[in-house]
């Protein structure tokens, strides 16, 4: 199978949204394809993120990763938050995730980013093994917290 990793554009939004929809369900979010289409369409149209896709010319998109530009205040440098990485179940164990990670690293280097950060579920052992095999270092020093914001 021949796979090309490339940056998505607005015309890819419908197919990327299908992948994003599956990704959200993997993380136990309720199905909402309209939400996925809006969200991905807005990110691509507004240039809020970089979306890399694994494109198999004969069968379409097999996976994607999404990078959000942000900053590390401590290093005083720009970084990418690799927030989403998803490969279709039928394409797993074929190296697609690894290719997406390597392409993300090349994109980060090209764009002058100091590093990339990501988080994953503690139970997602397969993803953790891939990240570590690709040279990512697990952070055992800092804890991640989040808080929902209530509208005024």
Segment 4-30 shows an average pLDDT of: 96
106 in a domain, yes or no? yes
Indicate whether 48 pLDDT > 80.
yes
In degrees to the nearest 10, what's the CA dihedral of 61, 96, 17, 19? 100
146 in a domain, yes or no? no
102 in a domain, yes or no? yes
Segment 93-99 shows an average pLDDT of: 94
Indicate whether 57 pLDDT > 90.
no
141 in a domain, yes or no? no
How many independent structural domains does the chain possess?
1
97 in a domain, yes or no? yes
Q: Which has the closest alpha carbon to 55: 47, 46, 65?
A: 65
Confidence category of residue 147, pLDDT binned at 50, 70, 90:
very high
**Amino acid 1: pLDDT:** 65
Q: Which has the closest alpha carbon to 44: 67, 60, 61, 25?
A: 67
Q: What is the pTM (predicted TM-score) of this model?
A: 0.93
Host domain of residue 69 = 3-119
CATH number at residue 76: 3.40.630.30
Distances in Å between the alpha carbon of 84 and those of 6, 66, 133?
Answer: 16, 5, 18
112 in a domain, yes or no? yes
- Token pair 């990240």 in the structure block, residue: 131
């Amino acid at each position: 199978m021949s796979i090309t990793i490339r940056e998505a554009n607005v015309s890819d939004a419908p197919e990327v949204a299908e992948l994003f929809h599956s990704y959200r369900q993997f993380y136990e979010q309720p199905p909402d394809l309209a939400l996925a289409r809006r969200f991905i369409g807005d990110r691509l149209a507004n240039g809020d993120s970089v979306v890399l896709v694994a494109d198999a010319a004969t069968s379409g998109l097999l996976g994607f990763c999404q990078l959000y530009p942000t900053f590390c205040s401590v290093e005083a440098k720009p970084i990418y938050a690799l927030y989403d990485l998803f490969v279709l179940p039928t394409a797993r164990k074929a190296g697609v995730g690894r290719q997406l990670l390597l392409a993300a690293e090349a994109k980060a280097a090209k764009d002058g980013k100091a590093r990339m950060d990501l988080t994953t579920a503690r139970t997602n052992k397969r993803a953790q093994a891939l990240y570590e095999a690709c040279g990512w270092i697990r952070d055992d020093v800092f804890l991640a917290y989040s808080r929902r914001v209530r509208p005024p």
